[in-house]
Structure 1
């Protein structure tokens, strides 16, 4: 972990809206040897939670539960823990593995549709990745097959040397961030020793720190006012800021 750099200069970076003169940022000579990115919310837009809820409701129907509570739908729609899945499945006396398999399948189908409909598009500052000359990777709590589909659909997959995300299994929940496992696997795959990780959630920050690397917390509309209980190395508002950090 590097934190602050030992030397600085200034680099002129285009304004995000390209409306006026360039912005001069102080540039840290950091020595990072790679950059890892979270996927949803960092590289591409988040989908509506209503989409995830609808997919989860259909999963319940597939296992014979016709009237799940809204609380249980929400519990299995996003930020799901192994304990939540077990508790919900026990409450309805259904097989947890089967319920999760159906949930994952419906989420995949709906997110593919959202992508094709243009509602899961890349953020406009993703073009800043072209200026990075370091190895790049993706680390996500989403399903690998979804992340790969979205990146391929938008022509972004070739920019990344590795993608580490979840398999659509109940066991994959134990490796979700804030656990460092996926981050560590991505670092090894890129053959890096000191990469920077860019995320948009507290679990991203914790995962990076547990893996022993620096983290840039990226603020967008969905998390602009979020207060963290952990301190990232950097707090940034655009991927274009990365040109001044690596």
Structure 2
């Protein structure tokens, strides 16, 4: 693995290209989504359910408990998260990692594959002058249906490879779901160690682990 010529490089966005948002910001956004629906006292579990790594069936269960339309709950959540991440980006707290600059040396097409909303990914990249470096972005639309296409489902990975005309791309992610999605798509996958996942233990099989994008580029050039 990581010993052959790749014809494309696919990268996760949050945690690989740009820093993660703080948990308290995401939690406040989720609470605000409930407030938008007139729910003033959601439980901690309910807030956690719609905050990150959302599962559609669990979202519906929360909506049923509060007697609200799940699509409306999800819409409020997506709008609040988008607003929060835009503000964090504008404030410079959600910013590119220093090693992202090395991607300018890559001589194969680049693409982004993210479970975040497409409009958020595009906004962040545009704010930092990075958008034109990537030939494709495959991420979510702000709809409940999009939850079924999230990684570890390989849908976005396969679509991005098709967009780039790649048959043998390398994928770089920072989570277990990234690794599984890469394996399901049949792509070599690098697990990138950053500060937020330095102690994470992967349950998947043998996986190449690297600690910087510089190290990734050294392997593929």
TM-score by length of 1: 0.88
Q: Is the 8 A contact 1:56 1:107 kept in 2?
A: yes
Mapping for residues 126-137 of structure 1, pairs under 5 Å: 126-137=100-111
Change beyond 3 A, Cα 1:159–1:226:
same
Q: Is the 8 A contact 2:2 2:188 kept in 1?
A: no
**Residue equivalent to 1:95:** 69
Match of 2:84 among 110, 119, 124: 110
**Residue equivalent to 1:86:** 60
Q: Is the 8 A contact 1:215 1:232 kept in 2?
A: no
Q: Is the 8 A contact 1:214 1:232 kept in 2?
A: no
User: In structure 1, how many angstroms separate the alpha carbons of the residues matched to 2:44 and 2:180?
Assistant: 29
User: In structure 2, how many angstroms separate the alpha carbons of the residues matched to 1:37 and 1:151?
Assistant: 13
**Residue equivalent to 1:157:** 131
C-alpha deviation, 1:4, in angstroms = 5.1
Match of 1:242 among 200, 204, 216: 216
Mapping for residues 1-150 of structure 1, pairs under 5 Å: 3=1, 5=3, 30-150=4-124
Match of 1:230 among 200, 204, 209: 204
C-alpha deviation, 1:216, in angstroms = 0.4
C-alpha deviation, 1:234, in angstroms = 1.5
State how many pairs are aligned.
220
**Residue equivalent to 1:16:** none
**SS of equivalent residue, structure 2 residue 195:** coil
C-alpha deviation, 1:245, in angstroms = 1.7
Q: Is the 8 A contact 1:89 1:96 kept in 2?
A: yes
**SS of equivalent residue, structure 2 residue 15:** coil
Structure number with larger C-alpha Rg: 1
* C-alpha RMSD of matched pairs (Å): 0.9
Q: Is the 8 A contact 1:216 1:232 kept in 2?
A: no
Gaps of 5+ in 2: none
User: In structure 1, how many angstroms separate the alpha carbons of the residues matched to 2:41 and 2:64?
Assistant: 15
Gaps of 5+ in 1: 6-29
User: In structure 2, how many angstroms separate the alpha carbons of the residues matched to 1:218 and 1:4?
Assistant: 14
Cα offsets for 1:49-91 (capped at 9, x unmatched): 1111111111111112110001110111000011110111111
Bigger mean CA deviation after superposition, 151-160 or 225-234: 225-234
